[in-house]
Structure 1
């Protein structure tokens, strides 16, 4: 069955390279790097490289009066990271539902996080219709798949999709050091931890005109997959999860779009993810234009975890809107555990022409 499309009507972003969606996109296009030594040190007393925001760029924590405390400093930082970017993306819409990607470990986040985020950001959310996706990097793409289903099968006309995460947390960094996953002195096959938040306002085709908003791009389809041989599994790692997400995505489109001209990849510096990209691309190379552009923004800002999926889709959308990226563009993300996702994004004008 053909998955319905959706228009991207609003974007919001907070990253180490920019505090709004346009600023972050411009900085990444210019190749600005915001990775540096932090006050955190590894077991050899060497500073850990990371892409973290300075405190001065984050708003004060503003919890609802009935809140006694938050579970952790990481939880509180996520609320602070998400507030301005949610407000930027919401575009003043009335009580939207939010489908939110979160870290795979949960960070103690439950439904109360949504009410706290609404208070922190000043955006009145439909908390009952909202949903959390604690699936890490691919979580935002799973949330996007849910958004397309809701827009296509219910009376819902717009929905927010986003993700927020941070590695700015000593116990988490300590655990990653034990797993030899951090890019530290003497270990090149590791990643630079980062943080950020990214949100998108999605609407049914034509909804933007009724809201007085100019659509930035169209989401043409989403594919999801399950990797049994994930980073923490005993099963052999074959790259089947991401390949399955590609297969589902391209099958749903039934050959109705041109070949992919740009890829925004969920690579984070660890070689583990290169294998599944290679497997997935080789199995579906017929859907790609020769010489397609390949982008992996994590190099400039560190790995933002669960914020990555919405962030990459947003960067592709801005590139299409400004004319410096050619569509259609493929975005893919892989989580540490089993979740995998792939999305195709194109310019609105191309959709209208068909």
Structure 2
């Protein structure tokens, strides 16, 4: 894992639990002449790229490779096997027209930068924004259940450090400034974990829930909360105890508040009345497509160390229609 709070999952987990915030005012000025905040990874934390990798591509494209490279190496260094793993990669939404991203080339360049750690032929990318990590997890799970692979590398990468993207968000009044409180702090990061067929795992993952919300923030339709409600309902299938901890993709915008309220009401029979809500974007900003794998890793570490009560629900809502959720239960 890497994001504005640090390099490595343990460092980020400790910073989140301590409430450390890496929001910083930038020199970028909004259309209302107000500086807006961002949460960025210091350049000195990023590895140098081979000159042939990402050659001729934008700084944004190259930054995604740098963020991914350092997080994947961390994950794979903990493995005993040197066999290349399939990669299920969550990426920014293809509907985000402000980001010109050649996802196929990016996946290939990531494989090239990771020193034979990834099986490119079995790898896929998912351009669904914040909820993309759930789709990546679902695809990785299917790969394991089919017997094609015993282990899969799952994760995501994203960055808002792109002038076209920031300009669009500014015009849409979605950035947090002194005059606009209904906004978010753009962040960046990457997070990866290995999903394997381990018979004695310490945490059980429930079925992934994916659904679409017609009334998303870029739609003319009214948000009825069906997408998030259905995704959470699917994720709660088979749960034997009510959820006690919730990890969400809340980033400070008000849009998801109504959605979550509806989803909570519709699934209240499976969620404890005294549940604890965690929304780490308060510390590291909005991580976009890296949100779900980051939340899952933080939740996993927290469950093992007794910081969070089990069962635990992770949910995330993209800017567009996609909504995703999954449960994590500490085994006895």
SS in 1 for 2:85: coil
Q: 2:224 aligns with which of 222, 230, 238?
A: 238
SS in 2 for 1:125: coil
Distance in 2 between residues matched to 1:230 and 1:345, nearest whole Å: 27
- 2:208–2:235 Cα contact (<8 Å) kept: yes
1:46-80 CA-to-partner distances (Å, cap 9, x unmatched) read 33201111211111222546x6422x221111111
Distance in 2 between residues matched to 1:109 and 1:102, nearest whole Å: 11
Where in structure 1 are there 5+ consecutive unaligned residues?
A: 1-12, 210-214
Distance in 2 between residues matched to 1:296 and 1:43, nearest whole Å: 28
- 2:189–2:290 Cα contact (<8 Å) kept: yes
| Superposition deviation, residue 150 in structure 1 | 2.0
SS in 2 for 1:317: helix
Distance in 2 between residues matched to 1:157 and 1:220, nearest whole Å: 18
Distance in 1 between residues matched to 2:13 and 2:312, nearest whole Å: 15
What is the match of residue 201 of structure 1?
194
Distance in 1 between residues matched to 2:9 and 2:292, nearest whole Å: 14
- 1:246–1:280 Cα contact (<8 Å) kept: yes
- 1:133–1:139 Cα contact (<8 Å) kept: yes
- 2:206–2:235 Cα contact (<8 Å) kept: no
Instruction: Please state if 1:38 is matched with 2:26.
Output: yes
What is the match of residue 290 of structure 2?
307
- Normalized against structure 2, the TM-score is what? 0.93
Distance in 2 between residues matched to 1:74 and 1:68, nearest whole Å: 12
Q: 2:128 aligns with which of 123, 131, 135?
A: 135
Where in structure 2 are there 5+ consecutive unaligned residues?
A: none
What is the match of residue 163 of structure 2?
170
What is the match of residue 35 of structure 2?
47
| Superposition deviation, residue 236 in structure 1 | 1.7
| Superposition deviation, residue 43 in structure 1 | 2.6
Aligned residues: 325
Instruction: Please state if 1:95 is matched with 2:84.
Output: yes
| Superposition deviation, residue 216 in structure 1 | 5.4
- Normalized against structure 1, the TM-score is what? 0.88
Trace 1:43-122 onto structure 2 (pairs within 5 A): 43-64=31-52, 68-70=55-57, 72-90=58-76, 91-92=78-79, 93=81, 94-104=83-93, 105=96, 107-122=100-115
CA RMSD between the two structures = 1.6
| Superposition deviation, residue 167 in structure 1 | 0.4
Instruction: Please state if 1:339 is matched with 2:332.
Output: no
